[in-house]
Amino acid sequence: MKLLFIGDIVGKPGRRAVNTLVPRLRERHALDFVIANGENSAGGSGITPLIAGEIFDAGVDVITSGDHVWDQKEVMELLANEKRFLRPLNYPAGTPGYGSGVFEFRNPQSAIRNSIAVLNAQGRTFMQPPLENPFLLAAEEVKRLRERTKIIFADFHAEATSEKIAFGRFLDGQVSAVVGTHTHVQTADEQILPGGTAYLTDAGFTGPHDGCLGREIEPVMKKFLTGMPQRFEVAKNRVLLHGAVIEIDDASGKAIKIQRVSEAI
């Protein structure tokens, strides 16, 4: 199977990129499944049910999130009613929503149905709020998910490169792919780890790249210069979709190939 993972969608420009490019990429790569991190899709911070619906309608099958998951109050409705929307699994027991899910897909070249598990976890180094240990909880969750499918994708939403690499190595051979999000800077270290897990430290972000991590550059520079709070508006120009296309062997769940994506509207 082939899946596309889309790095953090930022604001309206990011959503426009998804709407425009996902149908093209589905056809070009013969994709079976599309996952996108949507935690910055509502005005650059958080997500709402309406915006999640827009992303699903564009051809995305599952939306993951991260530390900005709570930024819009409407997200509670989404967490309660939409299993295709995931929040980090390492929140305490009783937190609304799901940290993982198993989803069916059908190869466009055949009528054979298969399933994929998607797992969302958040790092702890330089991240707020501090959550439960993602390594221990992911290990337990992966063991449970492997009873249902060998194809498992993990979005690790974390700041520290070292924590992301360690997480990928920790799950190597147990999941099909580990791709990092959160820093909004696409890394060039895509690889297949020794155990057969596709790995990329950060997928980058989907949105306006003529700014600072999707925001207008002037207020960001002013914040660094003065230390005073600023309103960081979403930038507008040079809109790119960042992510990765991953090919996975259906029988073993091991990755065959990983290819970074950087596509302009």
Q: Is 251 exposed, middle or buried (0-12, 13-18, 19+ CB in 10 A)?
A: exposed
Q: How many CA atoms lie within 13 A of 7 on its CB side?
A: 32
Q: Which helix (H) or strand (E) holds 257?
A: strand 255-264
8 Å CB contact between 175 and 166: no
Active-site residue 68, yes or no?
A: yes
Q: Which helix (H) or strand (E) holds 27?
A: helix 11-29
- Measured distance CA(192)–CA(252) in Å, rounded: 14
Nearest to 75 by CA among 46, 43, 36, 40: 46
Q: Are strands 177-181 and 198-200 parallel, antiparallel or unpaired?
A: parallel
Q: List residues bridging with 36 in a β-sheet.
A: 6, 63
Question: Which candidate in 68, 157, 184, 242 is catalytic?
Answer: 68
> Which of the residues are catalytic?
68
